[in-house]
Structure 1
Amino acid sequence: MAFFGASQPSQSGSSSTTGDLKNDVEITSAPEDGVSEIQFSSAADYLAVSSWDRKVRVYEIAPTGQSQGKFFYEHDGPVLSCCWSKDGTKLASAGADRVVKLYDVQSSAQTQVGQHDSPIRTVRFVDVGNANGMLVTGSWDKTIRYWDVRQQQSVATVHLPERVYSMDVQQQLLVIGLAERHVCIINLSNPTAIYKSIQSPLKWQTRVVSCFPNATGFAIGSTEGRCAIQYVEDKDTSLNFSFKCHRETPPNTRDVTNVFSVNAISFHPTYGTFSTAGSDGTFHFWDKDAKHRLKGYPSVGGTISATAFNRSGGIFAYAISYDWSKGFHGNQPDVNPKLMLHAIREDEAKPRSIAKKR
């Protein structure tokens, strides 16, 4: 059976660049408060979800699109980030309680790995030297810290110019998006040294950074409804560019543009194309090498706070959850978060020319 109707052809007459949401499936038993991050395991179709309701939940996604809650565990404050180990046996999380936790999927054991002086915004597993099972955390205390999961002392601390807002890792590339538009790049072959520091090419606050699958660069999104493509090495600077997205011009208006935050950027694991999603409630698929939008989707009816592709790239998950972009006036306490699954057709995320894929 195809993944919730994925094999069905699109309706005739629809625009080739306009995507269809009609077969998207909602996951049952979603978090009770805002969703901060979602991540698929690379070992199975398990989706981890961190939330402001202080819980980390894991759902098993069946090929039919049906979902089942597998387990959850709790923090003492809002959970701001979660990530899987490469083999899918462990799940790390961190948040406003300043604590880094590790959950063993096989034994259900929870351990506190470490702690920061301020809330921890993001956590990632990294490969550093010969160490097996290293974590890196980025905090509002203006540091990143490396942790050996077998002990509760940080292996190393790197001091940064500002608070950590976003962080991503791919192979030996670690990219950290900071307050005041700072971006720090670290080569994990020398994990305690900042390889390069730059100012974001975007003019406003950084919301998200996401590394290319081949680790040659990264994408960065901001509150101004723009995304930038940045390569690490100076020899590739001619390939850098930025573009507008998640903006709209209301009908019957002149010289008015509504600008929305870019909250999430996810790269397809096979094709190297990527998605952007924002507070306008839309998501889009892009080919960075062709500088081309592959598909755009209508509003899902609420802010999209987090996105993720599964290990094969056949499923795109997105969280509909308020991001406070309109302050407390925009919050609707009676509207609960949703977790949605979108089956990827080949023409949605595949680049126009595979030969151009970096």
Structure 2
Amino acid sequence: MADKANDHQTRELDGPPFDTISSLRFSPSNSSGLLAASWDTTLYYYDTRSNERRSKFDHRAAVLDCCFSVDGKHAFSGGLDTSVRDFDLETEQVRHLGQHSSAVSRTSFASSLNALISGSWDRTLRFWDPRSSNAQIASYSLPERVYNMDISGNTLVVGMASRLFHIYDVRKMEGGPVQERESSLKFLTRAVACMPDGQGFATGSVEGRIAVEYFDTSAEVQEKKYAFKCHRQTVDGEDHVWPVNCIAFHPTYNTFASAGSDGTVSIWDHKSKKRLRQYPKFNQAISAIAWSHDGRQLAIGESYNWDEGRDGASKAPPPRLLVRDVGDEVKPKGVA
């Protein structure tokens, strides 16, 4: 059961990770299939409707990210052990696709190419064909370490160290990035998510700000981009600012959820520049979120995110994996 700080629409999954939850992904074909990657060196697979942990797969070090194949039958993951792995969720067979020379920080699946993309601290993007015995298709050098990555259609957004962003058309990688940008936020980027409608993306940073950006470089469209403060609170006259740890766009309504180290999750309509809802505060930082493909569930990873260092870790409660059934609060105003 979820604690009384959360309402009846939020339920807790059994068998959560026992260290920080680094990434959550719902299946593109099954609204109850959920992957959870963790610093406990394990990738977990859950059925959220039956509240059952179906499988778990071990790495040799912390797992930093995960994603599904387009048919939802395979899971892919990478982490500090530098390995890129393919897990057959039906047979539970594990396949080592290949290796980076440093940590694999992000994974995304390009449906149009039927290819896995991995980004690493070794300053490369690598493309993999899981169907091939020689899985690595290509490798592309970058100017900095990959910290964040997301894809919408054929548009890949890569967030790097030094506040750099590259935007690619995955069908034309040999030509280099379509655009190179510097973050409009002043501090380290901790989250990036692409709009499902393909118009742009949002980024979140450690100083409690979110920026909304657009791909179209025309002056008219670029005038629409903006940034705003969030995940902040005034306590006893003192301003407290928490990192924005994750952002996820709703697959149907193009609104987005943000979650932070303040233990809150908010729903935003970026077009009207308004917050639609803030859910009841959780026990500790929210380190990962994900929408189900039908947009009816929001998975929430509640776990210590090391904002207070080792001292905070000794006092932190164990991680929890929660799923919230959502309603009309995720719709823009005026949408039936």
Return the alpha-carbon distance in structure 2 between the equivalents of residues 151 and 272 of structure 1.
Answer: 38
After TM superposition, the structure 1 = structure 2 runs for residues 152-171 of structure 1, keeping only pairs within 5 Å, are 152-171=134-153
After TM superposition, the structure 1 = structure 2 runs for residues 11-30 of structure 1, keeping only pairs within 5 Å, are 21-30=7-16
Look up the match of 1:265.
247
Query: Which amino acid in structure 2 is aligned with residue 25 of structure 1?
Result: R
What's the secondary structure of 1:249's corresponding residue? strand
Query: Which amino acid in structure 2 is aligned with residue 60 of structure 1?
Result: D
Return the alpha-carbon distance in structure 1 between the equivalents of residues 26 and 285 of structure 2.
Answer: 20
Query: Which amino acid in structure 1 is aligned with residue 247 of structure 2?
Result: I
CA deviations 1:205-248 (Å, max 9, x no partner) are 00011000012210000001000000011122111111111011
What's the secondary structure of 1:354's corresponding residue? coil
- Do the aligned residues in 1 keep the contact of 2:6 with 2:281 (CA within 8 Å)? no
Does 2:213 align with 1:230? yes
Identical positions, percent: 36
- Do the aligned residues in 2 keep the contact of 1:26 with 1:341 (CA within 8 Å)? yes
Return the alpha-carbon distance in structure 2 between the equivalents of residues 162 and 21 of structure 1.
Answer: 43
- Do the aligned residues in 2 keep the contact of 1:127 with 1:188 (CA within 8 Å)? no
Deviation at 1:158, TM superposition (A): 1.5
After TM superposition, the structure 1 = structure 2 runs for residues 144-293 of structure 1, keeping only pairs within 5 Å, are 144-149=125-130, 150-192=132-174, 193-235=176-218, 236-251=221-236, 253=237, 256-293=238-275
CA deviations 1:1-34 (Å, max 9, x no partner) are xxx9xxxxxxxxxxxxxx9634311100100111
Return the alpha-carbon distance in structure 1 between the equivalents of residues 215 and 280 of structure 2.
Answer: 33
CA deviations 1:280-334 (Å, max 9, x no partner) are 0001000011111100123201000000111111111100111111222221366
- Do the aligned residues in 2 keep the contact of 1:114 with 1:152 (CA within 8 Å)? no
Query: Which amino acid in structure 2 is aligned with residue 343 of structure 1?
Result: D
What's the secondary structure of 2:211's corresponding residue? strand
Q: 2:313 aligns with which of 303, 326, 331?
A: 331
Look up the match of 1:15.
none
Query: Which amino acid in structure 2 is aligned with residue 257 of structure 1?
Result: D
Deviation at 1:86, TM superposition (A): 1.5
Mean alpha-carbon deviation: is it higher for 330-339 or for 83-92?
A: 330-339
What's the secondary structure of 1:166's corresponding residue? strand
Look up the match of 1:108.
92
Look up the match of 2:294.
312
- Do the aligned residues in 1 keep the contact of 2:191 with 2:245 (CA within 8 Å)? yes
Against the structure 1 CA distance between its residues 258 and 143, is the aligned structure 2 distance closer, same or farther, given a 3 Å change threshold? Answer: same
What's the secondary structure of 1:25's corresponding residue? strand
Query: Which amino acid in structure 1 is aligned with residue 226 of structure 2?
Result: F
Query: Which amino acid in structure 2 is aligned with residue 221 of structure 1?
Result: G
Q: 1:39 aligns with which of 25, 28, 49?
A: 25
Structure 2 unaligned regions, length at least 5: none
> Which TM-score applies when normalising by structure 1?
0.88
Look up the match of 1:53.
40
Q: What's the RMSD between the two structures over aligned residues?
A: 1.7
How many pairs were matched up?
A: 328
- Do the aligned residues in 1 keep the contact of 2:48 with 2:323 (CA within 8 Å)? no
Q: 1:300 aligns with which of 282, 288, 306?
A: 282
- Do the aligned residues in 2 keep the contact of 1:216 with 1:231 (CA within 8 Å)? yes
Return the alpha-carbon distance in structure 1 between the equivalents of residues 111 and 29 of structure 2.
Answer: 17
Deviation at 1:154, TM superposition (A): 2.5
- Do the aligned residues in 1 keep the contact of 2:304 with 2:316 (CA within 8 Å)? no
- Do the aligned residues in 2 keep the contact of 1:223 with 1:261 (CA within 8 Å)? yes
- Do the aligned residues in 2 keep the contact of 1:35 with 1:50 (CA within 8 Å)? yes
Structure 1 unaligned regions, length at least 5: 5-18
Deviation at 1:148, TM superposition (A): 1.5
Query: Which amino acid in structure 2 is aligned with residue 351 of structure 1?
Result: P
